[in-house]
Amino acid sequence: MSDADGGLEQRDVVIAGGGPVGLALALGLARAGLDVLVLEKADGPCAHSRAPTIWPATQQVFAELGLVERLEERGVTLSHPQIWDADRGVSLLSLPMDELAAETSFPRLLILPQSETVAILHEEIRNTVGVEIRFSCKVSGFIQDSFGVDVICRRFGLEERVRAKYVAGCDGEESTVRAHLGGKLEGKTYATRAALADIRVSGGEDLAFPRISTDPRPVIALRLGADIWRLIFPHSRRQPADPERWISDASTRLFGKVPEALIWSDTFSLHRRISSHWVKGRIVLAGDAAHLNSPVGGEGLDAGMQDAKLLSRALEAAVAVDHPQPLVNYVANRRRAMERGTGAFTDIASRSLLFGGGRMIRPTFAIARLLFAVPGWRRRILRRLALIDQK
């Protein structure tokens, strides 16, 4: 809508970034009656699988948005995942998620490619009043005063401006919003990197997973669909990343056959970092713009979705009282959760499993089995994985 005085487009909230965190936040705010605009620099939705693991607390977020059944229809659910040693044909660790049935409505692990999650969110947003997604629109700056924020962006080579009561930066690791706040991602980058490859291998629907092989180099496999598997190759920074060269050998070790097709591949660094600044007046961060944690444990998307849930409530309150204090409260909550919860947990898991080029994988799982034999420790670890211990 336009301001009758200045002709500037007006919104309650502008969200920079149209990934799953930004979209979930936008949908939650629109459901609460706010007028929301999502600005996404890409020319369309994410087309790659990226983060596929969805733990119970995040399934609850999708349930509150009315979407969890659609995710179930397209994904793979596991109430008792088995981490399987493909080299020796034995289970390394069993995760009885169903033991959490008294604490969550979703005592299972849900596997769904991020592209599918984003597609479901887009479908729902198209049918929701009060929210718009604008593609090919790169945010370039902000002018903030006591009453709102002018968001400056470029679209098709032309400058556009939108006036918002509040702005949420969900624009990822290279966040423009974070840069405007003066925030820096403080922390560390691990010596180990990861190469990813999504492949098509038929006939593996009954195989236990995640599957792990360590000889001659470690590889982890996660089933994304009926015949689609994600391969994860940890490797040192000194070792050239060449997933196409590794795929055939890894697939033979994991599945007993070579892949039928390579669908997608990528390589990335592993971090444990958190922004030095999350909020400035009416501008606030969420997701990878605010924090990065190692994907070991598969909790990157989940941490961002918890941000979206709590930030939605904070922004609703901030609009209602016309004051940004609820954003400060949100930041204190989520920063503490990331430092003591997800960030700390994934750091321990990463250092344990990736130390020495994967040589500690089996000893680490042997220790985990001993801990899981003690009911109190088993419940504590399962709750941590499920993010039930974060509010």
- Amino acid, single-letter form, for residue 322: D
Q: In whole angstroms, what is the distance from residue 320 CA to residue 7 CA?
A: 24
Angle at 181 between CA 184 and CA 125, to 5 degrees: 105
Query: What pLDDT is stored for residue 1 in this prediction?
Result: 46
- Coil, strand or helix at 261: strand
pLDDT band at 3 (very low <50, low <70, confident <90, very high): very low
* Domains of the chain, residue spans: 1-51+69-75+112-184+276-351, 187-271
Contact by Cβ (8 Å): 340, 291 = no
Residue found by looking up tokens 């983060």 in the block: 51
The mean pLDDT value of the chain amounts to: 90
Q: What contacts 24+ positions apart, CB below 8 Å, involve 206-210?
A: 207/84, 207/255, 208/82, 208/84, 208/91, 209/81, 209/82, 209/84, 210/81, 210/83, 210/84
For tokens 């901030």, what's the residue? 318
For residue range 314-336, list pLDDT tens digits in order.
999 999 999 999 999 999 999 99
| 45-59 residue pLDDT tens | 876 667 899 999 999
Q: Which CATH architecture has domain 1-51+69-75+112-184+276-351?
A: 3-Layer(bba) Sandwich (3.50)
Token pair 């211990």 in the structure block, residue? 389
pLDDT tens digits for range 66-120: 999 999 999 999 999 999 999 999 999 999 999 999 999 999 999 999 999 999 9
CATH 3.30.9.10 fits 187-271, yes or no: yes
